[in-house]
Amino acid sequence: MVLTHSITGSFFHSGSNSAKFDNGLDLTGDLRMGDVLVAEEFLGMSGDSVEIPLNVGKAIDNDDGTTTFENWIINVGETATITASGAFDTFCFIENQTLNDNNPSNSTWRTVSKGDGNGLVKSSSFTREYNEPGVYEYLIIANNETTKKTIVKGTTVTVIVNNTNPLA
């Protein structure tokens, strides 16, 4: 979702010192930043700054009727279902996949689920059987079309051999 901000003016700043705008900043076109934009107030932006909670991971139903979420720890050959919940319209599940076992840093993030029909049929979970031990990393992107909010949260599935967790 794209949120449009009305900004006008021209300015180029390069260097290690911060730029200060005593009377505000108006910009038309693209804003390209290599760092963080900090302001006391952003005017004219729709929506509020309240974050929408996103819950991801292993959903556990508690006796009091609430649900908590935690990272999965399972044995080789077992199946895990990563669940996402919150006030969102769509969820996209992305997995960090190692491309070369000889070089674990050679990996890429790939979308593994966003629902059938390329996202037209929404899905709030991703299920997979794990046949190799290791730590499987996931990012879940959740989008609320009404508030124009997108949240990203990570979770892991740790796959162990015979209930032996080398991370414990």
CATH code for the domain in which residue 152 is found: 2.60.40.10
Residue 134 resides in a domain? yes
Residue 19, SS3? Answer: coil
Residue 83 resides in a domain? yes
Q: How far are the Cα atoms of 38, 54, 116, 157, 159 from residue 136, in angstroms, in the given order?
A: 34, 20, 23, 5, 8
Residue 12 resides in a domain? no
Residue 59 resides in a domain? yes
* Residues 87-105, mean pLDDT to the nearest whole number: 81
* Residues 88-115, mean pLDDT to the nearest whole number: 83
This prediction's pTM: 0.64
pLDDT at 145: 84
pLDDT at 116: 77
Phi, psi dihedral angles at 12 (to 5 degrees): -130, 130
pLDDT at 2: 44
Mean pLDDT of the chain: 77
Q: Which domain holds residue 130?
A: 55-160
Residue 138 has which token pair?
A: 């996931």
pLDDT at 64: 94
* pLDDT above 80 for 32: no
Residue 33 has which token pair?
A: 């930043």
β-bridge partners, 82: 126
* Residues 116-124, mean pLDDT to the nearest whole number: 79
pLDDT at 73: 93
* Residues 64-75, mean pLDDT to the nearest whole number: 91
Residue 17 resides in a domain? no
Domain count, the chain: 1
Q: Are strands 149-160 and 72-75 parallel, antiparallel or unpaired?
A: parallel
* pLDDT above 60 for 50: no
* pLDDT above 90 for 93: yes
The answer to whether 82 touches 155, Cβ cutoff 8 Å, is yes
Model confidence band, residue 3 (pLDDT cutoffs 50, 70, 90): very low
Model confidence band, residue 98 (pLDDT cutoffs 50, 70, 90): confident
Model confidence band, residue 119 (pLDDT cutoffs 50, 70, 90): confident
**CA–CA gap between residue 40 and residue 59 (Å, rounded):** 38
